[in-house]
Structure 1
């Protein structure tokens, strides 16, 4: 399904097809990090972009 869509309608049709396919065999999202780990990673990223001098 990857590729260039020639119209918004074609993109929408592909998205709806993907949703239908996903819903036939859904898989739960499983967090691999704790909330604290995610927040620390986000804080680290924010520090990097704040200190970048741009």
Structure 2
């Protein structure tokens, strides 16, 4: 994923594809982060350490 060998501008289609994939990744991350909270009664230390998303 080096941008050095791609100096040209992205086409709108490529930009849209990148945005869509990023959105899907973030949605998947949110699902994975929220699932343990619902199932496990005892939060893990890592989960409480970055609990910014859970505070909303």
TM-score, length-scaled by structure 2: 0.39
Larger radius of gyration: 1
**Larger relative contact order, structure 1 or 2 (CA cutoff 8 Å, min sep 6):** 2
Structure with higher helix content: 2
